[in-house]
């Protein structure tokens, strides 16, 4: 379930997983896979640049009808757009106990990429540090260190429902380890901040 996060220039933005069977994340109108996000953060951590940047493969959907209605899709009554198609394929669990982000969610990537091809436009998303304060950028949205740490913490815990059995995928653990060991100054405090959130 996406949650509200505070950005620097865009106010409150929605970010997060929107279906427990896929690792696709949304950030407002942009979509990208959590596996790629975690690997991109690892790349930032390994960079020797003062303001490291990487390009994240993603998709963009401006039209709200093409994105779909998350709450309607969860209820099974509005299954339009990308979000609706994911819920037609993987309906919301019937029991509260079943509402957990699946550690194997990345296995459906090929199927989700086919869905994205029907609803979204490919987009190269800049992920990086763009200002020494630091300011973290994901596409057009900027976050301060606390805001970026909150996004990292969200992915680490598996979003709002949390990872099933608290089992983090290896790609999440890789990001966490990279953040804990980075010498990249802007990223050095993110691991500590994310644990406090």
pLDDT of 193 higher than 70: no
The residue with tokens 């709200």 is 64
Which residue, among 116, 108, 193, has the nearest Cα to 148 in the 3D structure? 193
Provide the residue range defining the domain that includes 95. Answer: 3-195
Number of helices (H) and strands (E), helices first, in the chain? Answer: 9, 8
44 by DSSP, 3-state: which? helix
How many domains does the chain fold into?
A: 1
Contact 124, 138 (CB under 8 A): no
Question: Using 50, 70 and 90 to split pLDDT, how confident is the model at 196?
Answer: low
Tens digit of each residue's pLDDT (9 = 90 or more) over 6-62: 999 899 999 999 999 999 999 999 999 999 999 999 999 999 888 999 999 999 999
Which residue, among 57, 59, 70, 64, has the nearest Cα to 30 in the 3D structure? 59
Residue 48 has a pLDDT of 86
Tens digit of each residue's pLDDT (9 = 90 or more) over 48-100: 888 999 999 999 999 999 999 999 999 989 899 999 999 999 999 989 889 99
List 136's β-bridge partners, or say none: 129, 143
Residue 113 has a pLDDT of 98
Q: How many angstroms separate the Cα of 21 from the Cα of each of 47, 61, 91, 163?
A: 32, 21, 9, 11
């Amino acid at each position: 379930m996406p949650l509200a996060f505070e950005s620097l220039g865009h106010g409150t933005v929605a970010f997060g997983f929107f279906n427990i069977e896929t690792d696709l994340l949304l950030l407002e109108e942009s979509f990208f896979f959590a596996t790629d996000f975690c690997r991109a953060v690892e790349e930032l951590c390994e960079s020797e640049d003062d303001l490291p940047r990487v390009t994240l493969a993603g998709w963009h959907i401006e039209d709200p009808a093409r994105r779909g209605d998350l709450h309607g899709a969860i209820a099974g009554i509005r299954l339009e757009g990308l979000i609706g198609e994911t819920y037609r394929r993987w309906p919301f669990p019937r029991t509260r106990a079943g509402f957990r982000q699946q550690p194997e969610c990345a296995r459906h990537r090929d199927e989700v990429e086919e869905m994205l091809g029907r609803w979204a436009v490919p987009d190269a998303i800049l992920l990086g540090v763009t200002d020494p304060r630091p300011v973290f950028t994901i596409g057009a949205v900027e976050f301060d260190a606390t805001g970026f740490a909150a996004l990292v913490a969200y992915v680490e815990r598996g979003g709002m429902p949390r990872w099933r059995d608290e089992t983090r995928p290896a790609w999440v653990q890789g990001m966490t380890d990279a953040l804990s060991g980075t010498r990249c100054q802007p990223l050095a405090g993110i691991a500590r901040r994310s644990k406090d959130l």
